[in-house]
Structure 1
Amino acid sequence: MVNSLELEQKISDLLDDFYRRRIDKIKTLKLNHALSRKNPYLYRAIGVQKASDIVEGLLSAYMSSSDEGIFGDAFFEPLAKFASGGVVSPSEGVDVARETEASYSAIAVKSGTNVFNAQSRRRQGDDFKALENRLRKLQKHFDPVVGYCYGKKQQSKNSKAAFRELAGQAFWEFITGDSDFYLKIIQLMKDKPQEHLIEYKAAWDSAINRFTHEFIEEFCDEDYNIDWEKLVKFNSGLPLQKGK
């Protein structure tokens, strides 16, 4: 079982990395990139009139989506490796490997339970199968597991399933042997998030101001009203051909 002081320090270090990546993302994000992925018709349909409302809405949506991926890479995956006592797997599609005299557990770490479509689920199964084939000479029981770091998942009873699926408490207990580990993660964050909020809020406010200025320059008319046609052309129009 993981030492509490070591676990608290690990969680603190991982949160430092998470916030560093969040702040880097918000500082380097380009307005045009964020705008190209949003629906200008929706903003018009709900009656948005202020550039700052569009900017704050798109920045909130972008960072919310980005945070999920950053948190998985910067926090969940390294924490699972640390807590399990396993090693980083050298195989595609597998994050952590744990080996005993009798078995080899290959673990793919995912954040939440809604990560697969039919194609990606097949690809995950193929990744496990490829690793199993390479390890066949070990003559050990091969245990492929997809672990979801939060949420709940009903394990399929299908004996032909390509891998086991464990979520939330069940996943963390599987890799640590501690049924309360999923609660310890949240408890040991303590005040660390609040320590980072001042720097993050400063980066956020700066991005709002920068984006609002750029939006007004690019997509507002001389009376500072939103030029919806110009915005839609940027978002959805065909690229201009050379010579036209």
Structure 2
Amino acid sequence: MPLNNSYDEQAVIQAIATALETFYGTLIEKIDGLNIQKVMKRKNPYLYRAKAMQSASEIVDSVLTAFVSSSEETIFGNCFFEPIAIAASGGNKALAEGIDIMIQNNETNTISAIAVKSGPSVFNADSKKRQEQNFTAASKLAKQAKARYEAYIGYCYGKKKDSGRGKPKMYQELAGKRFWAELTGDEEFYIKIIGYMGTMPEKYVADYKESYNRAANRLIREFSNSFCREDGSIDWEKLVEFNSGD
């Protein structure tokens, strides 16, 4: 039996709309806050020299593309899936540490604790151990309520296979289609999420591109002023000293 046999479609669509607004707003804010000193302190100047980059625009394009790629993945993972999962499941945002959703089913006297993760490659050994400790702590709430306890790690995209090795786990791991079907009772929900977005993403594209282009122009100017000689060539020694010197 899935955790939920029905869901409020309009609540899901609203959750997606809010999540997209948060995603683009946060991403644009980060791009608008970039400056070349902040960026180049974290970059490898030797790599750019090894790739024979000769212009400020080449380096800025590489830096900005990498920054956006890394930032958008993190921001999207943090803001998009959890509110949709809460809306789809009919559960409540959990107060327990490391748990995102709590679902109480009075008919079966069951409390389900769900940790929502983006993709299936988010854990290392230490973080997996902490997640298990969080599930154990949450199980005490179920014991106090004299309810049966279930724990899940839900990966919102991708696939996850159980290796079948080791001791039995106190939780289930579900990914992609299987996770969303467990939350909603709908085997096609994982595909419907795309449809529910409709044309909502398109209304943010212009603001995003404007922010990106402003950042590119700003960073090229700042790089040229800080790390280029009078003739326009890159002062590699100055760049390396800024990045790695005392």
Q: TM-score, normalised by structure 1?
A: 0.91
How many matched pairs? 238
SS at match of 2:85: helix
Residue number among 223, 232, 237 corresponding to 2:240 in the alignment: 232
Task: Identify which range, 4-13 or 45-54, moves more after superposition.
Answer: 4-13
1:76 aligns with 2:81: yes
Mapping for residues 62-73 of structure 1, pairs under 5 Å = 62-73=67-78
What TM-score do you get using the length of structure 2 for normalisation?
Answer: 0.90
Match of 1:48 in 2: 53
CA contact (8 A) 2:94 2:100 kept: yes
Query: Which of 195, 201, 205 is the matching residue for 1:187?
Result: 195
Partner of 1:90: 95
Aligned-residue sequence identity (percent) comes to 45
Cα distance in 2 between the residues matched to 1:6 and 1:163: 28
Distance 1:156 1:224 in 2: 57
Asked if 1:139 corresponds to 2:146, the answer is yes
What is the aligned partner in structure 2 of residue 19 from structure 1?
Answer: 24
CA RMSD of aligned residues (A): 1.6
Residue of structure 2 equivalent to 1:129: 136
Greater relative contact order (Cα 8 A, min sep 6): structure 1 or 2? Answer: 2
Q: Which amino acid aligns with 2:34?
A: L
| Distance of 2:152 and 2:237 partners within structure 1 | 50
Task: Give the drift of 1:36.
Answer: 2.1
**Which residue of structure 2 aligns with residue 199 of structure 1?**
207
For residues 23 and 29 of structure 1, the distance between their equivalents in structure 2, rounded to whole angstroms, comes to: 10
Aligned in 2, Cα 1:162/1:216: closer, same or farther, shift over 3 Å?
A: farther
Q: Distance in 1 between matches of 2:41 and 2:115?
A: 32
Q: How does 1:202-213 map to 2 (within 5 A)?
A: 202-213=210-221
Name the aligned partner's letter for residue 129 of structure 2.
R
Q: Which amino acid aligns with 1:22?
A: L
Q: Write the letter of the residue equivalent to 1:41.
A: Y
Contact 2:110 2:147 in 1 (8 A): yes
For 1:118 and 1:7, locate their aligned partners in 2 and report how far apart those are by CA, in whole Å: 33
Shift of 1:53: 1.4
Structure 1 portions without partners, runs of 5+: 240-244
Matched with 2:44 is 39
